[in-house]
Amino acid sequence: MKKVALLATALAMVSGSALAADMRVKAVKAPPPVAFDPWDFAFGAGITNDYIFRGITQSNHKPSVNAYFEPRYNVTKDLQLYVGLGAASISFPNRAAAEVDAYGGVRATFGAFAVDVGAWGYLYPGGTCHYGAATDTAGVPLSLECQTNALLNGNVIKKDLSFFEVYGKVNYTFNDNFSLGGNVYYTPSFLNTGAEGTYASIVGKAIAPSAWFGASGIGMYVSGEFGRQWLGTSDSFYGVAAFPNGINYADYNTWNIGIGFTYKVFTLDFRYSDTNLSQGDCNAFTSDHTATFNGSFTPINPTGVGSKWCGAAGIVKLSADLTAMTNLK
């Protein structure tokens, strides 16, 4: 009897399985794929106690504010096109109203490598020419504005200092905590002086493990840069008696190191910056309107006026940086 019961149970299971196999199973629709939106934009602003650019103050060691807006188009997840517009407050000898930056380029990633190439325009509207003589040292006639304006320390400066650079950057990310990179910039006329300029640097960054700050959302990093600025010969506007057709600006090294803290979109950065450019050669290069005589004689700076715009500086900067895809959803 038990055998009959077991056989009946087995037949019922087989019959049930066959019936289940013949039943039409309702298809479950897969969720629609997330649409790829190639457009994004970044924007931000910051304030600093001193706007330092390649070791030289652009704000006369005074506070400066800046802001930028950068539309981006992601061709793929590894290839991005971008353009940008920014502005910063400055204090230049020609009394330019501000620095306005217009730039654009291409960013691409190849595994751990990130590459960025593009062009950057530095515009300085609202400047005034300062010279104080009818002709420059090579005898080239100057405008009436240049003739009637002179800086008290004898330095000279053009009305328009606008120029552009082309650049290439590469960065290698070893892991979530360490990265190392290199940059190269080139311009045929740095600050519209007529002198070629090439800047190259190496940069490094170490990010603290997230476990250091737990769930607080605070991040920390240490970063630094060492660079060298090569400069050519100016046009005759900046010439001196010994070099009436132009002066060969001094090349120099610059470096900075700092520590930063991040929280959400905010970054607070503390940094030390310095160069090996002498006060005399710094004065010849910057035409610093605040420079005073201190015996800083060099072949290209025969007046002995020295500038402190290229010395050691401590920088504190607070900035906020956002992107639409990350912060505005």
pLDDT (0 to 100) of residue 142: 98
Listed residue (106, 109, 114) closest to 82, CA to CA: 106
Q: How many C-beta atoms surround the C-beta of residue 93 within 10 A?
A: 22
Burial (CB < 10 A; 0-12, 13-18, 19+), residue 252, is: buried
pLDDT along the chain (329 residues), means of 10: 44 43 52 77 98 98 98 97 98 98 98 98 98 97 97 98 98 98 98 98 97 94 98 98 98 98 98 98 98 98 98 97 86
Report the C-alpha gap between 229 and 200 in whole angstroms. Answer: 7
3-state secondary structure 274-306: EECCCHHHHHHHHCCCCCEECCCCECCECCCEE
pLDDT (0 to 100) of residue 324: 87
Query: What's the predicted TM-score (pTM) here?
Result: 0.89
Structural domain boundaries in the chain? 41-327
Report the C-alpha gap between 141 and 90 in whole angstroms. Answer: 29
Q: 76 Cβ partners below 8 Å, 6+ apart?
A: none
Q: Under DSSP, is residue 174 helix (H, G, I), strand (E, B) or coil?
A: coil
Q: Which two tokens stand for residue 243?
A: 């070099």
Q: Which two tokens stand for residue 306?
A: 């020295």
Q: Are 258 and 270 in contact (CB under 8 A)?
A: yes
Residue 132: which region, alpha, beta or left (left: phi > 0; alpha: psi -120 to 50)? left
pLDDT (0 to 100) of residue 28: 57
Fold of 41-327: Porin (2.40.160)
pLDDT (0 to 100) of residue 325: 81
Q: Are 305 and 291 in contact (CB under 8 A)?
A: yes
